Amino acid sequence: MPDVTIVIVNHNRKDLLRDCLNSIEENDVSVEVFVVDNGSNDGSVEMLEDAYRWIHLIRNRNNERFAKPNNDAIRRASGRYILLLNNDAILRPGSLRELVSYLEAHPDVAMVGPQLLNPDGTIQQSCHGFVSLRTHFFDMVLLDRLFPHSRYFAAAPMTYFDYKTESVVDHVMAAAVLVRRDVLLKIGLFDEQLSVYYNDLDLSYRMAQEGWKSVFLPAAKVTHYGGHTAKPMMDDLTFFREQYENIFHYYRKHFGKRTVRIYQIMLLVGFLPRAVWWSVLSLFSRSERISQMRTFALRTVQLALSTLIDGEKE
């Protein structure tokens, strides 16, 4: 029985996946590795079958996003701990041992995340507070950016956090996070209705409700390339709507239908002036960024309005 089951979801990131798997071989913890491939067509599967026969490969015909593929692997896991690892994350030597040792020494902690580093060695923001209508309002009116060092206004993005001190936090990003498998089985795996967004936040929230702690551990370090899932939201209308449907589901699940309606109104009121502003700017500039922001704002206004109307019909 391995100490850790590592779960990686991959979609057309062959080169990054290769570096991720190579970094796993340099760690000194007994592991089993599941790679769930979401219908890649870039040679990822062929590479795995040729050079990494020691991994357990689960092949999906289509891109099944994040929650379901992770659940499929976790259900087959035999390790005491589950390491959720992005395919663009590189384990630094000794990092996995640090995470395992921490959970073994702290039985009241269910989840521990390492310090995430950019390829140039700078620190990434990887800890966040739980979201609410209040934190979304602060984000909408830019108070969290005007007062980034405020624990009140910047409670969700936690821009005041120094990332150098071991701390109990609300949520550590699932780009690389070690979780107790028995806790996962007890409180439930990822909510598959949160297919691409808020799934790890929802998991942290449910753990906290059951009295479990999540911890940020800077002694463990992981290089994370990041930025490979943001662009589809600008280009893919289905992905765009899916993200917001995930947010609606999260609010509905934890705070009720009324909260969803309030959030949709906040989107409409907040993004309507943005849509007008970016539309005016686009008349005088061909900047790609202005065009993207205009499209994003217009789509958000349209989605907020349509979901509000649909809600009235229910």
237 and 202, same domain (yes or no): no
179 and 256, same domain (yes or no): no
* Domain assignment present for 142: no
* Domain assignment present for 133: no
288 and 305, same domain (yes or no): yes
pLDDT at residue number 235: 59
* Domain assignment present for 136: no
220 and 237, same domain (yes or no): no
pLDDT at residue number 311: 63
Contact predicate 216/223, CB 8 Å: no
Range of the domain at 212: 4-126+163-224
98 and 38, same domain (yes or no): yes
113 and 207, same domain (yes or no): yes
Contact predicate 170/74, CB 8 Å: no
User: Parallel, antiparallel, or unpaired: how do β-strands 176-180 and 109-117 relate?
Assistant: antiparallel
206 and 289, same domain (yes or no): no
All residues at 6 or more sequence positions from 25 whose CB lies less than 8 Å from its CB, including other chains: none
181 and 294, same domain (yes or no): no
* Domain assignment present for 112: yes
Nearest to 75 by CA among 172, 175, 188, 209: 188
All residues at 6 or more sequence positions from 221 whose CB lies less than 8 Å from its CB, including other chains: 92, 95, 114, 115, 117
Domain CATH for 103: 3.90.550.10
The model's pTM: 0.87
Mind listing the pLDDT tens digit of every residue in the chain (314 residues)? 788 999 999 988 888 999 999 999 878 888 999 999 998 888 888 989 888 889 899 988 888 888 899 999 999 999 999 999 999 999 999 999 999 999 999 999 999 999 999 998 899 999 999 999 999 999 888 899 999 999 999 999 999 998 999 999 999 998 999 999 999 999 999 999 998 889 999 999 999 999 999 999 999 999 998 765 444 445 567 778 888 889 999 999 999 989 999 998 998 888 888 888 888 888 887 788 888 888 888 888 888 888 887 765 45
SS3 of residue 181 by DSSP: helix
Residue 190 CA to residue 111 CA, distance in Å, equals 14
Q: How many domains does the chain have?
A: 2
